[in-house]
């Protein structure tokens, strides 16, 4: 079993290691190592198209992670008080949202948004003053944020609910006995205890949103995120610059994932 596990890990991580190694290639060919250099990192960071795509990805990831953390926490707290078949139904819907392939979510979101836009835009145009061009809802930054919020919110719900289920119920009961309002109990007792889980959910949501390509490909419209830019670039051939971008994204994702894991473990120790 150890040999089998070793082979699996090598199969998964050797290609990643190769990409990281060739990102330091001094030559122009991605598959021929001709010395070591950091020149491609500099070229990637000075590429205006890369920077524009990076800015778009950061904005979408930050906003969607914030909204997912907010709505996911509200949903987790609300579901904590539900019992019976209704809770099982909501639990199933949350897990299904994670299990569904990204391409299905992307297509479904695209169809839903196009249908909504086709219904809403004529109504806006009819109510708009004559002689003034009405706004036209279409794919772009808003659709990206909405799709990523919907996808990553399920992660936050699961993480926060796991933290809530491990809380000592006597703490909230004691708060009620001391005449605290429900909001006061949440603000002074529940929120400090679940905050590490909320922060971990935010970091995971940010990572998933920043790295997402499949869903963004369907709903981005004219916007270009960093994964979409990388995909468009490798269609013309892989260069050391692409390897450098991939390595930097990988390093940032690993830092966020490790930070989220540390926060969750610290939260468990404080139970």
Please state, in angstroms and rounded to a whole number, the distance separating the CA atoms of residues 197 and 191.
10
In this prediction, residue 65 carries a pLDDT of: 93
In this prediction, residue 145 carries a pLDDT of: 92
Least confident of 24-38, 51-65, 90-104: 24-38
pLDDT in tens, 217-244: 999 888 889 889 888 888 777 778 888 8
Tell me whether residue 10 is in a domain.
no
Average pLDDT, the chain: 83
In this prediction, residue 266 carries a pLDDT of: 66
Tell me whether residue 91 is in a domain.
yes
In this prediction, residue 83 carries a pLDDT of: 77
Query: What percent of the chain lies above the pLDDT cut of 90?
Result: 10
In this prediction, residue 60 carries a pLDDT of: 93
In this prediction, residue 30 carries a pLDDT of: 65
The whole domain housing 67 covers: 50-269
In this prediction, residue 101 carries a pLDDT of: 84
Tell me whether residue 25 is in a domain.
no
> Is pLDDT at 106 greater than 70 in this prediction?
yes
Tell me whether residue 22 is in a domain.
no
Q: What is the 3-state secondary structure (H, E, C) of the chain?
A: CHHHHHHHHHHHHHHHHHHHHHCCECCCCCCCCCCECCHHHHHHHCCHHHHHHHHHHHHHHHHHHHHHHHHHHHHHHHHHCCCCHHHHHHHHHHHHHHHCCHHHHHHHHHHHHHHHHHHHHHHHHHHCCCCCCCCCCCCCHHHHHHHHHHHHHHHHHHHHHHHHHCCCHHHHHHHHHCCCCHHHHHHHHHHHHHHHHHHHHHHHHHHHHHHCCHHHHHHCCCCCCHHHHHHHHHCCCCCHHHHHHHHHHHHHHHHHHHHHHHHHHHHHHCC
Query: What percent of the chain lies above the pLDDT cut of 70?
Result: 94
- Name the domain count of the chain: 1
How long a stretch of residues is the chain? 271
Tell me whether residue 9 is in a domain.
no
pTM: 0.82
**Sign (positive or negative) of CA dihedral 98, 104, 105, 108:** negative
Band (188; pLDDT cuts 50, 70, 90): confident
In this prediction, residue 223 carries a pLDDT of: 87
Residue 243, Cβ density class (10 Å: 0-12 exposed, 13-18 middle, ≥19 buried): buried
Residue 114, Cβ density class (10 Å: 0-12 exposed, 13-18 middle, ≥19 buried): middle
Contacts of 124 (CB under 8 A, 6+ apart): 134, 135, 136, 137
Mean pLDDT across 112-138: 83
In this prediction, residue 239 carries a pLDDT of: 78
In this prediction, residue 268 carries a pLDDT of: 58
Please state, in angstroms and rounded to a whole number, the distance separating the CA atoms of residues 8 and 13.
9
> Is pLDDT at 25 greater than 90 in this prediction?
no
Mean pLDDT across 214-219: 90
Band (63; pLDDT cuts 50, 70, 90): very high
> Which is nearest to 76 in space by CA: 91, 88, 62?
91
> Is pLDDT at 270 greater than 70 in this prediction?
no
pLDDT in tens, 128-140: 877 777 778 888 8
Tell me whether residue 158 is in a domain.
yes
Band (271; pLDDT cuts 50, 70, 90): low
In this prediction, residue 267 carries a pLDDT of: 56
The CATH number linked to 66 is 1.10.3720.10
> Is pLDDT at 82 greater than 90 in this prediction?
no
Tell me whether residue 191 is in a domain.
yes
Tell me whether residue 258 is in a domain.
yes
């Amino acid at each position: 079993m150890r040999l089998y596990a070793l082979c699996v890990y090598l199969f998964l991580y050797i290609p990643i290691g190769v990409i990281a190694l060739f990102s330091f290639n001094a030559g122009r060919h991605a598959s021929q190592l001709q010395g070591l250099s950091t020149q491609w990192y500099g070229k990637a960071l000075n590429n205006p198209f890369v920077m524009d795509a990076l800015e778009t990805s950061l904005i979408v990831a930050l906003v969607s992670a914030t909204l997912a953390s907010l709505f996911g926490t509200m949903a987790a707290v609300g579901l904590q008080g539900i019992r019976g078949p209704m809770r099982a139904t909501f639990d199933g819907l949350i897990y299904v949202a994670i299990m569904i392939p990204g391409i299905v979510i992307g297509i479904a979101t695209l169809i839903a948004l196009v249908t909504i836009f086709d219904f809403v835009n004529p109504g806006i145009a009819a109510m708009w003053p004559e002689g003034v061009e009405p706004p036209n809802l279409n794919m772009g930054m808003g659709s990206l944020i909405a799709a990523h919020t919907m996808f990553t919110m399920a992660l936050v719900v699961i993480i926060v609910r796991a933290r809530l289920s491990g809380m000592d119920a006597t703490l909230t009961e004691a708060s009620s006995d001391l005449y605290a309002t429900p909001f006061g109990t949440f603000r002074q007792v529940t929120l400090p205890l679940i905050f590490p889980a909320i922060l971990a959910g935010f970091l995971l949501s940010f990572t998933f949103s920043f790295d997402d390509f499949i869903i963004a490909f369907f709903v981005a419209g004219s916007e270009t995120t960093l994964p979409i830019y990388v995909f468009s670039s490798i269609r013309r051939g892989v260069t050391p610059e692409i390897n450098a971008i991939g390595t930097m994204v990988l390093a940032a994702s690993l830092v966020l994932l490790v930070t989220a894991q540390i926060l969750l473990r610290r939260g468990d120790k404080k139970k």
